[in-house]
Chain A
Amino acid sequence: MFNHLESRLNRLRRTSHLDDAQISKFSSMQQFGTQKEFLAFCVHKFESLTDTKIIDAKIVGDFAFTFKGTTEVNHGRALGKKEYPIEIGLKYKGLTFEWGVKVGDKGGYEGKETYNGPFSLSQVPTDVVTDLMMGRF
């Protein structure tokens, strides 16, 4: 098909078809995989994976995001759940993402991960809140 890439493509070839519905869905999107989509996906993931409600989500400059809201921390059967303010900061350079999470006066944590490819970024918000989910802060 084209000199330099043909042999590599042939070695890798496999089928993975799209249906018309998938194509038309994305034809309505002006751009694909933008920061704003990622921001919205992070809000959705933070809220669905943890007892967190994000009230403010921002794209910061060209390479970062911040999220503010509240999160519920479980203090055990006697004390029950208590709500704390939460702040999440996330920045990236290429495929390396760094984040910091602060939960009121309870503490917080930081993390860093380099992802395998540009199509693996959906894993980022899950990695960001893993310690929060496990109560490790």
Chain B
Amino acid sequence: MFTNLESRLSRLRKASHLDDAQISKFASLEKPGTEKQFLAFCVAYFESVGKCKIAEAKILPHAGFTFEGTVTVNLGRAAGKQEAPIEIGILYDGGLTFEWGVSISGKQRYEGKKTLKSPFDLWVVAQEIAAPLMMGKF
């Protein structure tokens, strides 16, 4: 097909078709994979998986995101569940390395760092940040 890439592509070939509905769905998106979409996805993910209610989400210029809201913390059978303020910060290096920190009730609870193999794995960042919240391990 084209000189330099043909053999490499041939080795990798497998089918993964789109249907018309998928194409038309994305035809309405001006741009996929923008910072604002990522911000919205993180909010949705933190709220659905991480037991959070995000009240404010911000894009930091070219380099990061912050989220503020509340999280439901389980204090055991006696004390029950309680809502606590949560802050989540995400920074990236302009490439594929992301760092994050999470504080609950003003105390730093955990940090993390991940270098993605692919720019199409951004959703993994939200997943990794939310995992300790989902498990209550912080």
B residues in contact with A101, CB < 8 Å: 2
Q: How many interface residues does chain A have, given as a range?
A: 35 or more
**A59 engages B16 (CB within 8 Å):** yes
Could you tell me the distance in whole angstroms from the C-beta of A56 to the nearest C-beta in chain B?
8
**A38 engages B120 (CB within 8 Å):** yes
Could you tell me the distance in whole angstroms from the C-beta of B48 to the nearest C-beta in chain A?
6
A to B contact number (C-beta, < 8 Å):
213
Contact of A14 among B48, B58, B126 (CB under 8 A): B58
- A121 within 8 Å of B (CB atoms): yes
Say yes or no: A117-B2 contact (C-beta < 8 A), given A1-B103, A2-B108, A18-B40.
no
Q: How many interface residues does chain B have, given as a range?
A: 35 or more
Q: What does the 1/0 interface line of B88-110 toward A look like (CB < 8 Å)?
A: 01011011100111110000100
**B123 engages A33 (CB within 8 Å):** yes
**A18 engages B66 (CB within 8 Å):** no
Q: Please report the C-alpha to C-alpha distance between residue A43 and residue B18 in the assembled complex, in whole angstroms.
A: 10
- A92 within 8 Å of B (CB atoms): yes
**A2 engages B103 (CB within 8 Å):** yes
- B132 within 8 Å of A (CB atoms): no
A residues in contact with B14, CB < 8 Å: 58-61
* Residues of A participating in the B interface, judged by any CB pair closer than 8 Å: 1-6, 8-9, 12-18, 22-27, 29, 31-41, 43-44, 48, 56-64, 66, 87, 89, 91-92, 94-95, 98-102, 108, 110, 115-119, 121-122
* Residues of B participating in the A interface, judged by any CB pair closer than 8 Å: 1-6, 8-9, 11-18, 22-23, 25-27, 29, 31-41, 43-44, 47-48, 56-64, 66, 87, 89, 91-92, 94-96, 99-103, 108, 111, 116, 118-120, 122-123, 126
